[in-house]
Amino acid sequence: MGVFTSTDDPGSTGHEQVVFCQDKQTGLKAIIGIYSTALGPALGGTRFYPYDSEEAALADVLDLSRGMAYKNALAGLDLGGGKAVIWGDPEQIKSEALLRAYGRFVESLGGRYYTACDVGTYVPDMDVIARETRYVTGRSVEHGGAGDSSILTAWGVFQGMRAAAEHVWGEPTLRGRRVGVTGLGKVGKYLVGHLLDDGAEVVASDVNPRALEWARTNHPQVTLVDDAALLVASDIDVYAPCALGGALNDETVPALRAKVVAGAANNQLAHSGIEKLLADRGILYAPDYVVNAGGVIQVADEIEGFNFERAKLRATRIYDTTREILELADAEGVPPAVAADRLAERRMAEVGRLRTIHLP
């Protein structure tokens, strides 16, 4: 385990612990960021990505681990927030030995941090990491794991969208609404199914021809649009970004005709201030980290011994949490993203404080 070499100062970001890990033989360079353990062990995935620099990797892990603390708090989990990055090209350097070396570093934290999948890491990788550590989720079903987390991510997004629809139109349904989905990947595909079942009209776009082919074959009633910019500017009631981050930015928000935004993509707001721009245009934004928590709820359930029905019940509660946040936002006259942050901080402070009650 190494020492800080970056110019960034984690002390100024409020993180509890940031650990640099290196194993020269396998080429492993990883950073594990623990933002908060106020609610329990920190849970968050491992991103395996060819960052341009160590500074970029550190900035990402600091940002992502903080986000996980807020997401886990609002998901009602007894888990804190953490995240890890492995700096390198997974296509070039991912190996059994590298993943197992990483697993040993995770183990060395004694359960303060649980890992899971993220960009560049997959369920089979978690099975390899698990050969060195107990503190790993998102394992395969054969190993008692939760498997593909996009199933409950999509279910949770649908629940958050229902709550947003109720807030705007009075009924918790998408029936008769036109919903635009960008990104027909793992989550987008399941979401389209829920929307169609609910009676929504779906418009979708994807940059991958295979994803479009999937839609043509499985849901011919879905209208496909050439690119995301056209979809955003089209006559839709709800916009569901399910591709990459930054979907809500200075170009898209002024063009957006939807009254509601609720989607799976992480970090949808391109920069701070966008939430205000959305509110000023009368667009209700259901914060991404609230509505896309179904995946973390699914993998967190593994810690107790995975039970799909129990996890689904928890993910269904995203409907209630979204409602509560939208009501709080109205009551306090702030955008929903600000209300969500306040609610998460309140839970971390109130429940986290209980640990100061000494147990004999």
Ligand X SMILES: NC(=O)c1ccc[n+]([C@@H]2O[C@H](COP(=O)([O-])OP(=O)(O)OC[C@H]3O[C@@H](n4cnc5c(N)ncnc54)[C@H](O)[C@@H]3O)[C@@H](O)[C@H]2O)c1
Rounded CA gap, 70 and 137, in Å? 19
Q: Provide the H-helix boundaries in 219-287.
A: 228-233, 252-255, 274-280
Cβ proximity to ligand X: between 10 and 185 the closer is 185
Give me 353's structure tokens: 């404080």
From 29, 83, 94, 189, the catalytic residue? 83
Residue 109 lies near ligand X (rule: CB under 6 A): no
Q: Which is nearer to ligand X, 186 or 342 (CB)?
A: 186
Cα dihedral angle (25, 28, 34, 39), rounded to 10 degrees? -90
- DSSP-derived secondary structure letter, 135: -
- Provide the minimum distance between the beta carbon of 84 and ligand X in the complex, in angstroms, as a whole number: 15
Shortest gap between Cβ of 311 and ligand X (angstroms)? 12
Helix (H) or strand (E) holding 71: helix 54-74
**Annotated catalytic residue 29:** no
- Decide: is 115 part of the binding site for ligand X (CB under 6 A): no
For ligand X, the binding residue among 146, 184, 315, 329 (CB under 6 A) is 184
Number of residues that bind ligand X (CB under 6 A): 25
Q: Which is nearer to ligand X, 206 or 302 (CB)?
A: 206
**Of the candidates 222, 265, 291, 326, which one interacts with ligand X according to CB under 6 A?**
265
* Binding segment (CB under 6 A) for ligand X, from list 62-70, 258-266, 330-338, 352-360: 258-266
DSSP letters, 81-129, are EEEEEEES-HHHH--HHHHHHHHHHHHHTTTSEEB-B-TT--HHHHHHH
Question: Any residues with CB less than 8 A from the CB of 121 and at least 6 apart, and which?
Answer: 45, 46, 47, 48, 86, 90
Two tokens, residue 246:
């930054």
Q: Where are the beta strands (DSSP E) in the chain?
A: 17-23, 28-36, 42-43, 46-49, 80-87, 113-114, 178-182, 201-205, 223-224, 238-241, 260-261, 284-285
Nearer to ligand X by C-beta: 39 or 184?
A: 184
Cβ distance to ligand X smaller for residue 187 or 260: 187
CB of 116 to ligand X, least distance (A): 9
Residue 164's alpha-carbon distances to 74, 112, 168, 316, in angstroms, are 16, 35, 6, 14
Q: Does 183 engage in binding with ligand X (CB under 6 A)?
A: yes
Of 57 and 211, nearer to ligand X (C-beta) is 211
**Binders of ligand X among 273-292, rule CB under 6 A?**
292
Residue for token digits 């879905």? 222
Asked if 174 interacts with ligand X (CB under 6 A), we say no
Binding status of residue 186 toward ligand X by CB under 6 A = yes
Asked if 211 interacts with ligand X (CB under 6 A), we say yes
The residues annotated with a catalytic role in the active site are 83
Binding site for ligand X (CB under 6 A): 149-150, 153, 182-188, 205-208, 211, 228, 242-245, 264-266, 292, 295
